[in-house]
Structure 1
Amino acid sequence: MTELSHVVFEDINAVPLEQLNPARRDRFANATELPVFERLRREDPVHYTPESEFGPYWSLTLWDDIRAVGSNHRDFTSTENIDLKSIEEKINLEAALQALGHKRRKNVGFITMDPPEHTKHRKAVTPGMGPASLARMEPVLRERAGIILDGLPIGAPFDWVDKVSKELTATVLATLFDFPFEERRKLTFWSDMLMCEPGRGPVKSWEHKAEETIKCYQAFEALWEKRRNEPPTHDLISMLAHHPETCDMTLDEFRGTIVLLIIGGNDTTRNTISGSLYWLDKYPQEFAKLKANPKLVMSMVSETLRFQTPISFMSRVANRDVEIRGKNIRQGDRVLMWYLSGNRDASAIEDPDTFCIDRDRARRHLSFGVGVHACIGSRVAEMQLSVIWEEILKRFSRINVLGEPERNYSNFLHGFENLNVIIPKG
């Protein structure tokens, strides 16, 4: 495989700690972010960035601190958003939406609620992610995964992200929402539109982003009206429309919940499908283990979730003054829990910088979060990832990665825009 020839490497240890901005997006795009977090874990695990394009924020980089804050919704609220947008982004998107006659409101999906409101809204869709739902979904997903894989070209290069990762994720989302299957790729497209800035992904301009955001809202609002006038079914929209705690939710709450479900159902799984193939190519001895023992699929999936960490962080805001490792976090301060750093913390994970698919306690990672906001779709994601790899191993003995992928220009989504591969003939 070729290396990252376009990257200008910096001596991260030469940057004064007080000037270190761990959320700088270019490092994530260039795959040079991990040394930043290695230094912070060693020298300043509760780190304050006083000035950045995102405003001031704290960074937690150790496993124990991330778990402690993630489990403490009383002192650290989610109601002030869980990502990290620049001031410029917020202003530009609001102006673009207003120009279209749409006032931008606060995202109030249940991930940006605290208990008890969070508990009520989350409960409404929990059955859609539970054992009975998984049992209904698994044979459909397996059949569609087989169709995707059987349609791949042999002996010719193609983009794994587009042909497999996006396609499978769109299939699962369409199934969960009972969204028109022939329009399934709108779901991954809208996820990209919601998460990218102009010039990145499919977003051409702030006006383009605003237009597609409104189209997404309108499509799901139409589904909501349809489902609430029909008998209850097993899809997530119907569950929200008929559950007593959510049937009267506000329009803003509904939109926020849909955004959460689209993005949450897309990016974690999509980036892990791509990441698993990338890292198995980087570690051929691990691919050999997997082919020799397909029962390692679930362990490999968990190790990829840790090693790739598809969501880099989650953000909270302090409800009161709190001290962590001698640092005084003030009420109103933003705190980032860097999952991708906690997943490389040697005090919690043995030999954390090695990709090992038969690792003991492989499911011990932070990639699904902790506490009341732990990922509601974690079991769906694991099933999806396991099924696709079980079906891959039935069909292909080798899939070769052709050079380095283009990575997301994002400090939040930790994955690939593309991944060129070839399935050898014979």
Structure 2
Amino acid sequence: MATIATETEAGTAADPFDVTRPELYRDDTWHAPFRKLRADAPVHYCANSDFGPYWSVSNYKYIVEVESLPDLYSSEVAGITVADLQEGDVRMPMFIAMDRPKHTGQRRTVAPAFTPSEMIRLNPNVRQRTAEILDALPVGETFDWVDNVSIELTTQMLAILFDFPWEDRRKLTFWSDWAGDIEIVKDAEKRQERLRHLYECAAYFGQLWQSKIGKDPTPDLISMMLHSDAMAEMEPNEFLGNLILLIVGGNDTTRNSMTAFAYGLDQFPDERAKLEADPALIPNAVQEIIRWQTPLSHMRRTATQDTVLAGQQIKAGDKIALWYVSANRDESVFDDADSIRVDRPNARRHLAFGHGIHRCVGARLAELQIGILIEEMAKRRLRVNVVGAPERIGACFVHGYRKLPVELSRY
């Protein structure tokens, strides 16, 4: 087995290529270890981490191979993150963490909310709300882009998707942040606090569910679940699990890509100028920004039988982390991969939405929202200028930002 571990001064085995360490993402220093892994050990066994032993799959080719074999590499056996269930935790099934055939039926239930025709229907609403938010922003004054733009836009969209009471929509952000924080697994008290918050979420949505019983179907996710054969009779924990999936998926992917648009183009002013000069590049720039950011760093699979991957002996039950954040910087696929190139010819090949049967069901909606944001910025000739260091999420699952101080100017 290829190994690139070292020894600490105390003599204990240490693995500098344990890429689950939260400080790598908090400090944005994850690039170097992944670059080394892709070059020397694209399928690497990490024996010691805060989440236990796991295999790191860090290059594009082998991630696609694993994702293309969902019966061999299960999403259901032990979940979709490197964090295992702890004693006292409650299992919350969700369709992204299910194998076929149950995954198929539940995914098909919510998929109609994200069809091309639905994107056409939603477009005017997304555009109007984006315009209102941008027109209310101060020009030439410092504000937090994450809170005022990214969170507000995505939370409004989630409220529409769920037919959620508008005045309470920030609860969705609150629940998403608690549900998506993988570091909480290390703290027993916080795990219990998270459980309380998630049960509050379940109770709130339970009331929404009850309010729609006996009513005609409507184009929101709660109604779609209620009127489907695959999801109408879910157990409470499965109902909560699928809610959390849709909230976190809808919130974090779009929210952190919207912030990456502001932050990333500020880091690459020549590319920003190229985009400002040619709005026809916007659809491709959306894909490139999603690739460059990769809002979810990894997904986890579990081997269902002994197998071989990249010459490494994988045992049944082994934990496998698929590092999308690394695959999207794979030099063999993306030239000059650490840079944003708004006209990158293969930007759409990114793996930020996954691959295969578990590819993000809401990908089109995320692309629509980010694209409209950039289009409406261009119409107003608004430019985002970053005026301070971003505060990043210190965790190996959600890859994003807590704060980003900016000022707007005109060009």
SS at match of 1:417: strand
- Contact kept? 1:291, 1:397, Cα under 8 Å: no
- Contact kept? 2:162, 2:220, Cα under 8 Å: yes
- CA shift for structure 1 position 403: 2.0
The yes-or-no answer on 1:39 pairing with 2:36 is: yes
Distance 1:312 1:403 in 2: 24
Q: Which residue of 2 aligns with 1:85?
A: 83
- Contact kept? 2:57, 2:323, Cα under 8 Å: yes
Choose which of 22, 26, 30 in structure 2 pairs with 1:25. 22
The yes-or-no answer on 1:62 pairing with 2:59 is: yes
The yes-or-no answer on 1:393 pairing with 2:354 is: no
AA aligned to 2:372 is V
SS at match of 1:58: strand
The yes-or-no answer on 1:366 pairing with 2:366 is: no
- Contact kept? 2:43, 2:310, Cα under 8 Å: yes
Q: Which residue of 2 aligns with 1:75?
A: 72
Distance 2:24 2:166 in 1: 37
> What do residues 280-321 of structure 1 show as CA deviations (whole Å, max 9, x unaligned)?
000001111111111111111100111111111110000001
What pairs with 1:299-338 in structure 2 (closer than 5 Å)? Answer: 299-338=284-323
The yes-or-no answer on 1:404 pairing with 2:365 is: no
- CA shift for structure 1 position 86: 6.3
TM-score, normalised with respect to structure 2 = 0.93
Which shifted more, 307-316 or 225-234?
A: 225-234
Distance 1:399 1:367 in 2: 24
Q: 1:288 to 1:82 in 2, by over 3 A?
A: same
- Contact kept? 1:298, 1:386, Cα under 8 Å: yes
SS at match of 2:390: coil
- Contact kept? 1:306, 1:343, Cα under 8 Å: yes
- Contact kept? 2:393, 2:400, Cα under 8 Å: yes
- Contact kept? 2:113, 2:221, Cα under 8 Å: yes
- CA shift for structure 1 position 39: 0.4
Distance 1:41 1:418 in 2: 30
> What do residues 369-417 of structure 1 show as CA deviations (whole Å, max 9, x unaligned)?
0010000000000001001111111124322101210110110111111
Q: 1:358 to 1:408 in 2, by over 3 A?
A: same
Distance 2:20 2:52 in 1: 11
SS at match of 1:323: strand
Q: Which runs of 5+ in 1 are unaligned?
A: 1-12, 95-103
- Contact kept? 2:279, 2:378, Cα under 8 Å: yes
- CA shift for structure 1 position 276: 1.1
Q: 1:246 to 1:401 in 2, by over 3 A?
A: same
AA aligned to 1:43 is D
Choose which of 125, 139, 146 in structure 2 pairs with 1:161. 146
Which shifted more, 112-121 or 180-189?
A: 180-189
AA aligned to 1:117 is K
What pairs with 1:110-129 in structure 2 (closer than 5 Å)? Answer: 110-129=95-114
- Tell me the matched-pair count: 398
Identity %: 41
- Contact kept? 1:291, 1:393, Cα under 8 Å: yes
Distance 1:143 1:279 in 2: 25
Q: Which runs of 5+ in 2 are unaligned?
A: 8-12
- Contact kept? 1:155, 1:425, Cα under 8 Å: no
Q: Which residue of 2 aligns with 1:273?
A: 258
- CA shift for structure 1 position 424: 3.3
SS at match of 2:341: coil
Distance 2:83 2:335 in 1: 34
What pairs with 1:101-116 in structure 2 (closer than 5 Å)? Answer: 104-116=89-101
Q: Which residue of 2 aligns with 1:7?
A: none
Q: Runs in 1 of length 4+ with deviation above 4 angstroms?
A: 13-18, 197-200, 204-207
- Contact kept? 2:387, 2:405, Cα under 8 Å: yes
AA aligned to 1:22 is V
Distance 1:125 1:82 in 2: 19
TM-score, normalised with respect to structure 1 = 0.89
Q: Which residue of 1 aligns with 2:10?
A: none
- Contact kept? 2:57, 2:322, Cα under 8 Å: yes
AA aligned to 2:69 is N
> What do residues 256-284 of structure 1 show as CA deviations (whole Å, max 9, x unaligned)?
11010000000011000001111100000
SS at match of 2:392: coil
> What do residues 61-108 of structure 1 show as CA deviations (whole Å, max 9, x unaligned)?
111100010111110000111012267xx35xx3xxxxxxxxx42121
SS at match of 1:260: helix
SS at match of 1:422: strand
> What do residues 223-242 of structure 1 show as CA deviations (whole Å, max 9, x unaligned)?
11222331111101000000
AA aligned to 2:281 is L
- Contact kept? 1:198, 1:206, Cα under 8 Å: no
